[in-house]
Amino acid sequence: MNAYESGSELEPAVHAGDDPRAFASVLSAVHDAAMSGGRMPARPRGVIDDSWQRLRRAGLDPDVDCVGERTLQLDELEERRRRSGLAEVVDELARGLDSLIADGDNILVVSDADGHVLWRSGSSKVLTRADTLGFVEGADWAEGSVGTNAIGTALMSGRSVQVFSAEHFVRSHHSWTCTGAPIKDPRTGEMLGVVDVSGPAATIHPTTLALVHAVARLAESQLRESHHRRLDSLRAVAAPILARMPGPALAVDTDGWVAAVDTVSPRSRLILPPRLGPGRIFVNALGECDVEALPGGWLVRVAETSGASSTRVVVRVPAGPSGVGNVEVTVEGASGAWTHRCSPRHGDILTFLARQPDGVTAARMSTHLFGVDDRTVTVRAEMSRLRKHFGGLLVAGPYRFVDGVDVEVLDSED
Protein backbone atom coordinates (compact mmCIF):
# COMPACT_ATOMS: atom_id res chain seq x y z
CA MET A 1 0.00 0.00 0.00
CA ASN A 2 1.53 3.36 -1.00
CA ALA A 3 1.20 6.68 0.74
CA TYR A 4 -1.90 7.64 -1.23
CA GLU A 5 -3.90 4.58 -0.18
CA SER A 6 -3.69 4.67 3.60
CA GLY A 7 -6.97 5.35 5.35
CA SER A 8 -5.73 5.17 8.95
CA GLU A 9 -6.09 8.07 11.37
CA LEU A 10 -2.33 8.59 11.43
CA GLU A 11 -1.35 8.73 7.78
CA PRO A 12 2.35 9.34 7.15
CA ALA A 13 3.31 10.95 3.88
CA VAL A 14 5.67 8.07 3.05
CA HIS A 15 5.80 4.52 4.33
CA ALA A 16 8.66 2.18 5.12
CA GLY A 17 10.04 0.91 1.82
CA ASP A 18 8.97 3.95 -0.21
CA ASP A 19 11.75 5.81 -2.04
CA PRO A 20 11.36 9.45 -0.92
CA ARG A 21 13.17 10.84 -3.99
CA ALA A 22 11.04 8.88 -6.43
CA PHE A 23 7.92 9.75 -4.49
CA ALA A 24 8.86 13.46 -4.45
CA SER A 25 9.09 13.32 -8.25
CA VAL A 26 5.59 11.83 -8.48
CA LEU A 27 4.26 14.47 -6.10
CA SER A 28 5.80 17.23 -8.20
CA ALA A 29 3.99 15.93 -11.29
CA VAL A 30 0.75 15.66 -9.34
CA HIS A 31 1.14 19.21 -8.04
CA ASP A 32 1.91 20.65 -11.49
CA ALA A 33 -1.14 18.94 -12.99
CA ALA A 34 -3.43 19.98 -10.14
CA MET A 35 -2.37 23.63 -10.28
CA SER A 36 -2.68 23.82 -14.07
CA GLY A 37 -5.96 21.90 -14.27
CA GLY A 38 -4.38 19.01 -16.14
CA ARG A 39 -4.80 15.29 -15.63
CA MET A 40 -3.04 14.13 -12.48
CA PRO A 41 -0.93 10.95 -12.65
CA ALA A 42 -2.21 10.04 -9.15
CA ARG A 43 -4.57 11.43 -6.58
CA PRO A 44 -3.14 13.26 -3.56
CA ARG A 45 -3.98 11.95 -0.12
CA GLY A 46 -7.38 13.01 1.16
CA VAL A 47 -6.09 15.51 3.73
CA ILE A 48 -3.84 17.10 1.08
CA ASP A 49 -6.54 17.11 -1.61
CA ASP A 50 -8.97 18.80 0.79
CA SER A 51 -6.35 21.43 1.61
CA TRP A 52 -5.54 22.14 -2.04
CA GLN A 53 -9.21 22.53 -2.88
CA ARG A 54 -9.73 24.99 -0.01
CA LEU A 55 -6.76 27.05 -1.13
CA ARG A 56 -7.70 27.08 -4.80
CA ARG A 57 -11.20 28.25 -3.89
CA ALA A 58 -9.61 30.97 -1.77
CA GLY A 59 -7.47 32.07 -4.70
CA LEU A 60 -4.06 31.46 -3.13
CA ASP A 61 -1.28 31.55 -5.73
CA PRO A 62 1.08 28.54 -5.48
CA ASP A 63 3.87 30.57 -7.08
CA VAL A 64 3.77 33.41 -4.54
CA ASP A 65 5.38 33.01 -1.14
CA CYS A 66 3.44 35.19 1.33
CA VAL A 67 5.41 34.30 4.47
CA GLY A 68 6.55 37.35 6.42
CA GLU A 69 3.63 39.57 5.48
CA ARG A 70 1.87 38.95 8.82
CA THR A 71 4.76 38.56 11.28
CA LEU A 72 3.89 39.66 14.83
CA GLN A 73 5.70 42.43 16.64
CA LEU A 74 7.50 41.38 19.82
CA ASP A 75 4.85 42.81 22.16
CA GLU A 76 2.05 40.92 20.42
CA LEU A 77 4.14 37.75 20.25
CA GLU A 78 4.71 37.86 24.03
CA GLU A 79 1.01 38.47 24.65
CA ARG A 80 0.02 35.55 22.41
CA ARG A 81 2.47 33.30 24.23
CA ARG A 82 0.88 34.28 27.52
CA ARG A 83 -2.66 33.73 26.27
CA SER A 84 -1.95 30.51 24.37
CA GLY A 85 -2.16 28.17 27.37
CA LEU A 86 0.89 26.33 26.00
CA ALA A 87 3.77 28.02 27.85
CA GLU A 88 3.78 25.42 30.62
CA VAL A 89 4.22 22.50 28.19
CA VAL A 90 6.85 23.94 25.82
CA ASP A 91 9.73 22.36 27.75
CA GLU A 92 7.91 19.01 27.89
CA LEU A 93 7.36 19.12 24.12
CA ALA A 94 11.05 19.83 23.56
CA ARG A 95 12.10 16.91 25.79
CA GLY A 96 9.69 14.53 24.08
CA LEU A 97 10.93 15.42 20.61
CA ASP A 98 14.61 15.89 21.40
CA SER A 99 15.53 12.73 19.46
CA LEU A 100 14.24 14.37 16.28
CA ILE A 101 15.99 17.69 16.90
CA ALA A 102 19.30 16.49 18.33
CA ASP A 103 20.87 15.59 14.97
CA GLY A 104 20.56 19.20 13.84
CA ASP A 105 18.44 18.58 10.73
CA ASN A 106 15.01 19.44 12.14
CA ILE A 107 13.38 22.40 13.82
CA LEU A 108 10.79 22.21 16.59
CA VAL A 109 7.97 24.74 16.38
CA VAL A 110 4.97 25.46 18.60
CA SER A 111 2.17 27.60 17.17
CA ASP A 112 -1.01 29.06 18.62
CA ALA A 113 -4.53 28.26 17.46
CA ASP A 114 -4.29 30.92 14.74
CA GLY A 115 -1.14 29.40 13.25
CA HIS A 116 1.34 31.98 14.50
CA VAL A 117 4.76 30.59 15.42
CA LEU A 118 5.21 31.23 19.15
CA TRP A 119 8.36 29.25 19.91
CA ARG A 120 10.97 27.43 17.84
CA SER A 121 14.22 25.61 18.59
CA GLY A 122 16.90 23.75 16.67
CA SER A 123 20.49 23.95 15.51
CA SER A 124 21.77 27.20 14.02
CA LYS A 125 22.03 25.43 10.66
CA VAL A 126 18.39 24.44 10.45
CA LEU A 127 17.20 27.72 11.98
CA THR A 128 19.06 29.66 9.29
CA ARG A 129 17.44 27.52 6.62
CA ALA A 130 14.04 28.03 8.23
CA ASP A 131 14.68 31.79 8.20
CA THR A 132 14.84 31.72 4.39
CA LEU A 133 11.31 30.28 4.36
CA GLY A 134 10.05 32.87 6.84
CA PHE A 135 9.63 30.12 9.43
CA VAL A 136 10.41 32.50 12.30
CA GLU A 137 8.85 33.36 15.64
CA GLY A 138 5.80 35.51 15.07
CA ALA A 139 5.23 34.34 11.48
CA ASP A 140 1.74 33.39 10.34
CA TRP A 141 1.67 29.77 9.14
CA ALA A 142 -2.08 29.39 8.92
CA GLU A 143 -3.13 27.46 5.84
CA GLY A 144 -4.88 30.47 4.33
CA SER A 145 -1.69 32.49 4.59
CA VAL A 146 1.05 30.13 3.35
CA GLY A 147 -0.76 27.15 1.87
CA THR A 148 -0.73 23.50 2.84
CA ASN A 149 1.65 22.86 5.74
CA ALA A 150 1.62 20.76 8.89
CA ILE A 151 0.71 23.66 11.18
CA GLY A 152 -2.07 25.25 9.17
CA THR A 153 -3.48 21.99 7.81
CA ALA A 154 -3.47 20.35 11.25
CA LEU A 155 -5.48 23.31 12.52
CA MET A 156 -7.94 23.08 9.63
CA SER A 157 -8.37 19.30 9.76
CA GLY A 158 -8.11 18.87 13.54
CA ARG A 159 -5.81 15.89 13.08
CA SER A 160 -2.10 15.09 13.07
CA VAL A 161 -0.64 15.68 9.61
CA GLN A 162 2.60 15.01 7.78
CA VAL A 163 3.28 17.06 4.63
CA PHE A 164 6.10 16.09 2.28
CA SER A 165 7.73 17.94 -0.59
CA ALA A 166 5.22 18.93 -3.33
CA GLU A 167 2.28 18.19 -1.04
CA HIS A 168 2.91 21.77 0.07
CA PHE A 169 0.64 24.05 -1.95
CA VAL A 170 3.26 26.80 -2.35
CA ARG A 171 6.15 25.72 -4.58
CA SER A 172 8.85 27.47 -2.53
CA HIS A 173 8.12 24.96 0.28
CA HIS A 174 8.67 21.83 -1.82
CA SER A 175 12.18 21.31 -0.46
CA TRP A 176 10.72 20.95 3.04
CA THR A 177 8.84 18.35 5.05
CA CYS A 178 6.82 18.98 8.20
CA THR A 179 4.84 16.99 10.75
CA GLY A 180 2.32 18.62 13.04
CA ALA A 181 -0.09 17.51 15.75
CA PRO A 182 -2.84 19.67 17.24
CA ILE A 183 -2.92 20.31 20.98
CA LYS A 184 -6.39 20.82 22.43
CA ASP A 185 -7.54 22.22 25.74
CA PRO A 186 -8.41 19.08 27.76
CA ARG A 187 -11.09 21.03 29.63
CA THR A 188 -13.05 22.24 26.61
CA GLY A 189 -11.72 20.45 23.53
CA GLU A 190 -10.91 23.81 21.96
CA MET A 191 -7.77 24.11 19.84
CA LEU A 192 -4.76 25.62 21.61
CA GLY A 193 -2.15 25.22 18.89
CA VAL A 194 0.14 22.80 17.08
CA VAL A 195 3.50 21.19 17.81
CA ASP A 196 5.48 20.75 14.61
CA VAL A 197 8.77 19.18 13.54
CA SER A 198 10.08 20.42 10.19
CA GLY A 199 13.22 20.01 8.14
CA PRO A 200 14.62 19.41 4.66
CA ALA A 201 12.58 16.96 2.59
CA ALA A 202 15.34 14.35 2.76
CA THR A 203 14.73 14.00 6.53
CA ILE A 204 11.25 12.52 6.03
CA HIS A 205 10.55 9.41 8.11
CA PRO A 206 7.23 7.58 8.56
CA THR A 207 7.65 7.17 12.34
CA THR A 208 7.92 10.92 12.91
CA LEU A 209 4.16 11.34 12.69
CA ALA A 210 3.44 8.80 15.42
CA LEU A 211 6.02 10.37 17.75
CA VAL A 212 4.81 13.95 17.27
CA HIS A 213 1.22 12.78 17.74
CA ALA A 214 2.11 10.94 20.96
CA VAL A 215 4.00 13.92 22.41
CA ALA A 216 1.03 16.20 21.70
CA ARG A 217 -1.25 13.81 23.59
CA LEU A 218 1.20 13.77 26.51
CA ALA A 219 1.14 17.56 26.54
CA GLU A 220 -2.65 17.48 26.79
CA SER A 221 -2.36 15.09 29.73
CA GLN A 222 0.08 17.45 31.43
CA LEU A 223 -2.32 20.36 30.93
CA ARG A 224 -5.16 18.29 32.42
CA GLU A 225 -3.09 17.36 35.47
CA SER A 226 -1.97 20.97 35.97
CA HIS A 227 -5.58 22.10 35.85
CA HIS A 228 -6.55 19.55 38.49
CA ARG A 229 -3.63 20.58 40.73
CA ARG A 230 -4.61 24.24 40.53
CA LEU A 231 -8.22 23.43 41.41
CA ASP A 232 -7.06 21.25 44.32
CA SER A 233 -4.89 24.08 45.62
CA LEU A 234 -7.73 26.57 45.29
CA ARG A 235 -10.14 24.13 46.96
CA ALA A 236 -7.83 23.79 49.96
CA VAL A 237 -7.84 27.56 50.47
CA ALA A 238 -11.55 28.00 49.79
CA ALA A 239 -12.97 25.13 51.86
CA PRO A 240 -12.70 26.78 55.29
CA ILE A 241 -13.98 30.08 53.88
CA LEU A 242 -17.01 28.40 52.28
CA ALA A 243 -17.73 26.59 55.55
CA ARG A 244 -18.23 29.98 57.22
CA MET A 245 -20.42 31.38 54.46
CA PRO A 246 -23.96 32.25 55.57
CA GLY A 247 -25.28 31.82 52.03
CA PRO A 248 -24.60 30.17 48.66
CA ALA A 249 -21.06 30.55 47.33
CA LEU A 250 -18.52 29.03 44.94
CA ALA A 251 -14.76 29.09 44.52
CA VAL A 252 -13.65 29.29 40.88
CA ASP A 253 -10.33 29.70 39.13
CA THR A 254 -9.57 32.69 36.90
CA ASP A 255 -11.23 30.96 33.93
CA GLY A 256 -14.39 30.17 35.89
CA TRP A 257 -13.75 26.47 36.53
CA VAL A 258 -15.36 25.48 39.81
CA ALA A 259 -13.13 24.20 42.61
CA ALA A 260 -15.71 24.07 45.43
CA VAL A 261 -19.34 24.97 46.14
CA ASP A 262 -21.52 25.51 49.18
CA THR A 263 -25.35 25.31 48.95
CA VAL A 264 -25.15 25.83 45.19
CA SER A 265 -26.13 23.18 42.67
CA PRO A 266 -22.98 21.45 41.31
CA ARG A 267 -21.59 22.75 38.03
CA SER A 268 -18.23 22.54 36.30
CA ARG A 269 -17.82 26.14 35.21
CA LEU A 270 -19.16 29.66 35.56
CA ILE A 271 -19.05 32.01 32.60
CA LEU A 272 -17.30 35.06 33.97
CA PRO A 273 -17.22 38.51 32.37
CA PRO A 274 -13.95 39.61 30.77
CA ARG A 275 -11.52 41.62 32.91
CA LEU A 276 -13.31 40.52 36.05
CA GLY A 277 -12.44 42.31 39.27
CA PRO A 278 -13.69 42.37 42.85
CA GLY A 279 -17.19 43.76 43.25
CA ARG A 280 -20.74 42.93 42.23
CA ILE A 281 -21.54 41.20 38.94
CA PHE A 282 -24.44 39.37 37.34
CA VAL A 283 -23.91 35.63 36.77
CA ASN A 284 -26.34 33.60 34.70
CA ALA A 285 -28.35 31.14 36.83
CA LEU A 286 -27.09 32.77 40.03
CA GLY A 287 -28.10 36.41 39.63
CA GLU A 288 -26.29 39.21 41.42
CA CYS A 289 -23.06 38.00 43.03
CA ASP A 290 -20.27 39.54 45.07
CA VAL A 291 -16.78 38.61 43.90
CA GLU A 292 -13.69 38.50 46.12
CA ALA A 293 -10.14 37.49 45.22
CA LEU A 294 -8.64 34.17 46.28
CA PRO A 295 -5.12 32.88 45.55
CA GLY A 296 -5.42 31.72 41.94
CA GLY A 297 -9.13 32.45 41.61
CA TRP A 298 -12.29 34.01 42.94
CA LEU A 299 -14.86 33.58 45.69
CA VAL A 300 -18.30 34.14 44.15
CA ARG A 301 -21.09 34.75 46.72
CA VAL A 302 -24.74 35.04 45.79
CA ALA A 303 -25.43 38.62 46.81
CA GLU A 304 -27.60 39.74 49.66
CA THR A 305 -29.79 42.82 49.36
CA SER A 306 -27.14 45.06 50.89
CA GLY A 307 -24.55 46.86 48.81
CA ALA A 308 -21.59 45.18 47.14
CA SER A 309 -18.70 44.21 49.36
CA SER A 310 -15.36 45.98 49.01
CA THR A 311 -11.85 44.53 48.66
CA ARG A 312 -8.77 45.97 50.34
CA VAL A 313 -5.18 45.11 49.48
CA VAL A 314 -2.53 45.88 52.10
CA VAL A 315 1.11 45.76 51.01
CA ARG A 316 3.32 45.51 54.10
CA VAL A 317 6.92 46.55 53.40
CA PRO A 318 9.63 45.65 55.93
CA ALA A 319 11.56 48.47 57.51
CA GLY A 320 15.15 48.95 56.44
CA PRO A 321 17.15 50.36 53.52
CA SER A 322 15.82 47.99 50.86
CA GLY A 323 12.19 48.01 51.95
CA VAL A 324 11.27 45.05 49.77
CA GLY A 325 12.87 41.96 51.35
CA ASN A 326 9.85 40.02 52.57
CA VAL A 327 6.88 42.02 51.43
CA GLU A 328 3.54 40.57 52.56
CA VAL A 329 0.36 41.23 50.63
CA THR A 330 -2.94 40.78 52.46
CA VAL A 331 -6.21 40.70 50.55
CA GLU A 332 -9.24 41.51 52.70
CA GLY A 333 -12.87 40.99 51.74
CA ALA A 334 -16.22 40.58 53.41
CA SER A 335 -15.62 36.82 53.76
CA GLY A 336 -12.17 37.01 55.32
CA ALA A 337 -8.57 37.64 54.42
CA TRP A 338 -5.52 35.80 53.04
CA THR A 339 -1.86 36.73 52.96
CA HIS A 340 0.89 36.02 50.44
CA ARG A 341 4.57 36.41 51.31
CA CYS A 342 6.42 37.55 48.21
CA SER A 343 9.84 36.85 46.80
CA PRO A 344 12.06 39.97 46.85
CA ARG A 345 11.43 40.75 43.17
CA HIS A 346 7.69 40.19 43.36
CA GLY A 347 7.59 42.28 46.53
CA ASP A 348 9.41 45.07 44.72
CA ILE A 349 6.97 44.89 41.78
CA LEU A 350 3.84 44.92 43.94
CA THR A 351 5.11 47.74 46.14
CA PHE A 352 5.93 49.82 43.06
CA LEU A 353 2.48 49.17 41.56
CA ALA A 354 0.76 50.00 44.85
CA ARG A 355 2.47 53.40 44.75
CA GLN A 356 1.56 54.01 41.11
CA PRO A 357 -2.27 53.93 40.99
CA ASP A 358 -2.36 55.00 37.33
CA GLY A 359 -0.21 52.03 36.35
CA VAL A 360 3.16 51.57 34.65
CA THR A 361 4.30 50.30 31.28
CA ALA A 362 6.56 47.27 30.89
CA ALA A 363 9.40 49.63 29.92
CA ARG A 364 8.96 51.74 33.06
CA MET A 365 8.83 48.65 35.26
CA SER A 366 12.02 47.44 33.54
CA THR A 367 13.72 50.74 34.39
CA HIS A 368 12.59 50.44 38.00
CA LEU A 369 13.81 46.86 38.40
CA PHE A 370 16.96 46.82 36.24
CA GLY A 371 17.92 50.43 35.54
CA VAL A 372 17.26 50.00 31.79
CA ASP A 373 14.02 50.07 29.82
CA ASP A 374 14.66 47.16 27.43
CA ARG A 375 14.12 44.12 29.69
CA THR A 376 10.41 44.05 29.00
CA VAL A 377 10.32 40.32 28.20
CA THR A 378 11.48 39.55 31.76
CA VAL A 379 8.96 42.03 33.15
CA ARG A 380 6.09 40.38 31.25
CA ALA A 381 7.15 36.95 32.47
CA GLU A 382 7.19 38.13 36.09
CA MET A 383 3.84 39.87 35.73
CA SER A 384 2.35 36.74 34.20
CA ARG A 385 3.43 34.74 37.27
CA LEU A 386 1.99 37.34 39.62
CA ARG A 387 -1.31 37.52 37.74
CA LYS A 388 -1.71 33.75 37.99
CA HIS A 389 -1.61 34.02 41.78
CA PHE A 390 -3.49 37.26 42.26
CA GLY A 391 -5.99 36.67 39.46
CA GLY A 392 -7.94 39.74 38.39
CA LEU A 393 -6.43 41.98 41.06
CA LEU A 394 -3.69 42.88 38.56
CA VAL A 395 -4.36 44.00 35.00
CA ALA A 396 -2.21 44.98 32.04
CA GLY A 397 -2.23 47.92 29.65
CA PRO A 398 -0.66 49.49 31.76
CA TYR A 399 0.17 47.18 34.68
CA ARG A 400 -1.78 48.20 37.77
CA PHE A 401 -4.14 47.07 40.49
CA VAL A 402 -7.66 46.74 39.13
CA ASP A 403 -10.08 49.63 39.56
CA GLY A 404 -12.38 49.41 42.58
CA VAL A 405 -9.79 47.88 44.92
CA ASP A 406 -8.46 49.90 47.86
CA VAL A 407 -4.66 49.53 47.93
CA GLU A 408 -2.53 50.65 50.85
CA VAL A 409 1.22 50.43 51.51
CA LEU A 410 2.27 50.05 55.15
CA ASP A 411 5.68 49.73 56.79
CA SER A 412 5.87 46.43 58.68
CA GLU A 413 6.17 48.29 61.96
CA ASP A 414 2.88 50.16 61.36
Residue ranges covered by each domain of the chain: 20-226, 245-302, 311-411
Q: Taking the model in full, what pTM does it have?
A: 0.79
Q: Please tell me the predicted confidence (pLDDT) of residue 45.
A: 95
CATH of domain 311-411: 1.10.10
Q: Which of 337, 338, 353, 344 is nearest to 387 (CA)?
A: 353
Whether the CB-CB separation of 145 and 151 falls below 8 Å is answered with: no
Residues 6+ apart with CB under 8 A from 188: none
Q: Please tell me the predicted confidence (pLDDT) of residue 2.
A: 43
Largest CA distance in the chain: 85
How do beta strands 394-395 and 400-401 pair?
antiparallel
Beta strands in 38-169 (DSSP E): 107-112, 117-121, 161-164
How do beta strands 297-302 and 191-200 pair?
unpaired
Q: Please tell me the predicted confidence (pLDDT) of residue 280.
A: 85
Q: Please tell me the predicted confidence (pLDDT) of residue 1.
A: 36
Per residue in 358-397, pLDDT (tens digit) is: 899 999 999 999 999 888 888 888 888 888 788 778 888 8
Start-to-end CA distance of the chain, whole Å, equals 79
| Distance set, CA 76 to CA 72, 80, 81, 392, 394 (Å) | 6, 6, 9, 21, 19
Residues 6+ apart with CB under 8 A from 200: 105, 129, 175, 176, 177
**Helices then strands (H, E): number in the chain?**
12, 16
CATH architecture group of domain 20-226: 2-Layer Sandwich (3.30)
Beta strands in 82-201 (DSSP E): 107-112, 117-121, 161-164, 176-184, 191-200
Ranges under pLDDT 70 in the chain:
1-8, 67-69, 305-309, 320-325, 412-414
How do beta strands 287-294 and 336-341 pair?
unpaired
Q: Please tell me the predicted confidence (pLDDT) of residue 71.
A: 87
